[in-house]
Amino acid sequence: NNNNNNNNNNTINNNKRPTILRIGRPAYQIYKSRDPDTDQRCLSFELSYPEIDTRRHQPRYRFMSAFEQRVDTPADRRYQYLLVAADPYETVAFKIPNEPIDKGEGRFVTHWDVEEKKFILTLYYLDAKQEEQQQQQQEEKDKQ
């Protein structure tokens, strides 16, 4: 009976994701700008991953609410976090305003440059007028 328990434990351990040795944070630069035509605020994040194995890994991102994270307490709803992860590097988080992001054509763009091993994420915030238009469009879609 003990052998069965040991086998089950080994099976469970084998299904765990292998531990990856982290080699530190990627170098990064953040650019703030405004669109000259719409005056929308823009943030562009450029992260360098010189040691990444591009055959096996590429950067991934996700947004995290202030209430999900455990670093800045108490949570401040005025902010959200942009997380970028790529093995074997540590995950980095950027604290950004928790305002509506423009998901329109060319307004939220990610690019992974395999040659340069750079990940670029560019986002634009909606201004109040655009946010209102987008909400109206969504309400019209919901009615259909």
- Cβ atoms of 83 and 92 within 8 Å: the answer is yes
pLDDT digits (tens, 9 = 90+) for 117-134: 999 999 999 986 666 676
pTM: 0.75
pLDDT of residue 72: 80
Query: How far are the Cα atoms of 19, 49, 62, 95, 133 from residue 34, in angstroms, in the given order?
Result: 41, 27, 23, 19, 20
- Cβ atoms of 104 and 18 within 8 Å: the answer is no
Q: In what order do the strands lie in the sheet with 108-113?
A: 27-34, 41-48, 118-124, 108-113
- Cβ atoms of 98 and 77 within 8 Å: the answer is yes
pLDDT digits (tens, 9 = 90+) for 5-52: 444 444 444 556 667 777 889 999 999 999 999 999 999 999 999 999
Q: How confident is the model at residue 80 (pLDDT cuts 50, 70, 90)?
A: very high
- Cβ atoms of 126 and 101 within 8 Å: the answer is yes
- Average pLDDT along the chain: 85
